[in-house]
Structure 1
Amino acid sequence: MSVTSQSSGERTDRAEVELRVPADSAYASVLRTTTAGLAARLDFTIDDIEDLRIAVGEANAMVLEHADAGSDLLCRFHLAPGRMVVSVSVAAATQPVPDLDSFAWQVLTTLASEADISTADGRFAIEMTMTSSAAGF
């Protein structure tokens, strides 16, 4: 999948998708469904898609705890053959201390190939990378 840059008209080998929804758990299914659809587009296996859906759901739950009232949840997807990087973030006026012993973090780090938490610039973010088992990575 390639995207054309609007400013230069050049073709790039990256695909970026951004989803912005209210920071409310009622929108968790929208986030999980979008994630599954994008993973299917990358030919992830059914098991990989389900693992990714669960991991994104856990990331969503973790960041929503710290979201500022009335803010949005921002989810960015970077798509590459056999690989997806997902960043889930919310505005957080205070610098939250992530609970790395929580069940949600343990599940997320077990399912994702890589995972990281950042608290900078007024945002609380979790970024995870998932590689498809079918891609042989």
Structure 2
Amino acid sequence: MTTEEIRLVIPAEEDFRPIAHLVTGGLAMRLDVTYDDLDDLQVGIEALLGLRDDAGELVVSLSADDGVLHASLGPFPPDKVHEVASDGDLDLQRVLDTVCDTHEVEERDGGAWVELTKRIAPAGTAA
């Protein structure tokens, strides 16, 4: 199966976050993803998008292969990603552990990029 990627570059301002959710929802619809799996991925993406609210650009890349949805978001200030993971009751680490199958932080291009994966079951099948 060929993996195709959707790459979205948006301003990191809060007003543009719904665009990332719209594109994620569109891909999920095309793949016939269950509402629960889509909701989990959207929660993880929103938790990450909330780390930035500035005039810079934010990249959201989405792809799917063999029943796994992949999302890559960044760049984030490296200290911000690690700081949030140790700050407060409902921290980023806990959210991502709950809604994603895997998540990793990778340092590249002078920033932190977060890779998420979510195993998906087509709607209408038992998960």
Question: Which TM bucket (shorter chain)?
Answer: 0.7 to 0.9
Query: Which residue of the partner structure matches residue 82 of structure 1?
Result: 67
- Cα distance, 1:136 vs. partner? 7.4
Task: Pick one of 8, 22, 35 that aligns with 1:33.
Answer: 22
Query: What aligned pairs does 1:1-137 form with structure 2 within 5 A after superposition?
Result: 13-62=2-51, 64=52, 70-90=55-75, 92=77, 95-96=78-79, 98=82, 99-102=84-87, 103-134=91-122
Identity percentage over the alignment? 22
In the alignment, the residues of structure 2 paired with residue 28 and residue 122 of structure 1 have an alpha-carbon distance, to the nearest angstrom, of 22
Residue segments in structure 1 that go unaligned for 5+ positions in a row: 3-12
**Aligned length, in residue pairs:** 120
Residue type of the partner of 1:39? A
Question: Structure 2 length normalisation: TM-score?
Answer: 0.80
In the alignment, the residues of structure 2 paired with residue 41 and residue 35 of structure 1 have an alpha-carbon distance, to the nearest angstrom, of 10
8 Å CA contact 1:44, 1:82 repeated in 2: no
CA RMSD of aligned residues (A): 2.3
Using CA pairs under 8 Å that are at least 6 residues apart, name the structure with larger relative contact order, 1 or 2. 2
Residue segments in structure 2 that go unaligned for 5+ positions in a row: none
8 Å CA contact 1:114, 1:130 repeated in 2: yes
In the alignment, the residues of structure 1 paired with residue 72 and residue 126 of structure 2 have an alpha-carbon distance, to the nearest angstrom, of 23
Residue type of the partner of 1:27? F
- Cα distance, 1:119 vs. partner? 2.8
Tell me which structure has the larger Cα radius of gyration: 1
Residue type of the partner of 1:110? T
- Cα distance, 1:19 vs. partner? 0.2
